[in-house]
Chain A
């Protein structure tokens, strides 16, 4: 019986000594196969990678740096959101809470300057496909909505939260997809609460 593929590879790589395969002594076919494998291994080992120009390495490092700078920075798990975005989301949450309270029928004064605004209903928000949430939130309608909400927020309350330097509309523009989904969740939660 001829040597198996595994036997031949082990023998060619020297993992096993030839003495462990007495069949080789009586089989020209297996000896020939083993010799071919060894010859190809030797050829492969000898085939070195050509060394690129010394200038290439700096060029490569520069390309990597540029690609990294164009992408997002790695952050520890406990701090995946940049500070400004956390503040942005928190401010928007405060904004939403404050503004939705303003919109609530029981609390909304008839003379409210934002009374004519029609915020999206909870049902409407529920219909937003989560995968499209980022796009939806970037729509002008949403930006206008959030900006108008921000206009009605109690600035002192926001400042008490340490969020006084933020502009809500600008914050929305800076949020990444994950943060936008969080904003969406906050909006949904707050509007649901108002509906209770």
Chain B
């Protein structure tokens, strides 16, 4: 792919980029992955609580997206569409597997330069405990909490995604938060 081709691809809007992917244009799907990989990875990490599984799931999400590109009709944004695929992939995975939480020392440290080293360490430890607790919640509770807390989805939107009702989503959020309280105890 020439630099000119790469530049042209980068200027494409979402729909045009999808068309380029469907036309098997070199570099088009790579660019789509590049634009959305971080959001997809973060979603997956929330579900599984460790880097290795989150990487595998992210790869799976993009592979499924590639295979299903024909079905993308542009009624939602690519980000929303990938998000839906991601949630389904994660739910499928977590419903059949106990989350493997990575130890704190294996996790990358968030670079927040205004914090003191001890503040940062404390915050990272606390975050790791919360993530580990979230990853131990039952799948539906975990999904409801993650989608509501980190992805700003309404109860109704989550209900649509989880094939549930808004009331059931609220109940799942409630029990998820109670579960967190139980798992974290007085640690926080």
Contacts and interface: CB of A to CB of B under 8 A. Distances in A.
A74 B109 CA distance: 38
Tell me the interface secondary structure of chain A in the complex.
helix
B168 to A, nearest CB: 10
Contact of B34 (A36, A43, A61): A61
Nearest to B148: A13
B110 interface: yes
A57 B174 contact: no
Interface string A55-94: 0110011011101100111111100000000000000000
A67 B63 contact: yes
Interface in B134-169: 134, 145, 148-150, 167
Tell me the interface secondary structure of chain B in the complex.
helix
B108 A51 contact: yes
A33 to B, nearest CB: 9
B46 A76 contact: no
Contact of A60 (B24, B29, B59, B134): B59
B16 interface: no
Contacts of A53: 108
Contact of A64 (B59, B108, B145): B59
Instruction: Among A9, A12, A53, A57, find the residue whose CB has the most chain B CB atoms closer than 10 A.
Output: A9
B174 A5 contact: yes
Nearest to B166: A6
Given A40-B181, A61-B30, A47 B130 contact: yes
Contacts of B62: 64, 67-68
A26 interface: no
A160 interface: no
A10 interface: yes
A37 interface: yes
Contact of A39 (B24, B145, B188): B188
A25 interface: no
A9 B144 CA distance: 12
Interface of A: 5-6, 8-10, 12-13, 36-37, 39-41, 43-53, 56-57, 60-61, 63-65, 67-68, 71-77
Interface of B: 21-22, 24, 29-30, 33-34, 37-38, 41-42, 45-46, 51, 55, 58-59, 62-63, 66-70, 107-111, 123-124, 126-128, 130-131, 134, 145, 148-150, 167, 170-171, 173-174, 177-178, 180-181, 184, 188
